[in-house]
Structure 1
Amino acid sequence: MIEKHSGLQQIVCECGASQTKTYQADEFDVMVSDARREGFVITKVSGEWQHTCQDCSRPARAQRRLL
């Protein structure tokens, strides 16, 4: 999810892990790029964007390799 506070925003995983930096609204592309660099996996599922941190995405990645 994207959380917004005091005019700043950052990507946050469902587990509560968040990006290390906050961004202005006009820095959306930079925010997404930085999140991916930090290990976040950003996907669209059933029309909704999901933002998953590196730790939470590891089990899913391992599962896909086994299939």
Structure 2
Amino acid sequence: MIEKHAGLQQIVCDCGISQPRTYQSDEFDVMVSDARAAGWSIQRVAGEWTHTCPDCRESTRSNPQGRLL
């Protein structure tokens, strides 16, 4: 999710970890680019945006759930 407070924003994973830096509202593209460069996964799933930190992304890869094969 993207949290906004006092004109600043940052990406936050469902686990609660957030990007270390906050960004001005006009720096949205920079924020997304920095997050992806740091290993975050940002995807649109079923019409909703997901923001997954590198730790959760790695644990999902090593422990896939809901797969038949």
1:59 Cα deviation (Å)? Answer: 2.2
Q: Which has the higher helix share?
A: 1
Once the two structures are aligned, what percentage of the paired residues are identical?
67
Alpha-carbon contact 1:41-1:52 (below 8 Å) kept: yes
Alpha-carbon contact 1:23-1:31 (below 8 Å) kept: yes
Give the aligned partner of residue 21 of structure 1: 21
Normalization by structure 1: what TM-score?
Answer: 0.88
Structure 2: gaps spanning 5 or more residues: none
Q: Deviations over 1:17-58 (max 9, x none)?
A: 000100011100000000111211001110000000000011
Give the aligned partner of residue 60 of structure 1: 60
Normalization by structure 2: what TM-score?
Answer: 0.86
Q: Secondary structure, in 3 states, of the residue corresponding to 1:34?
A: helix
Mark the structure with the bigger radius of gyration: 2
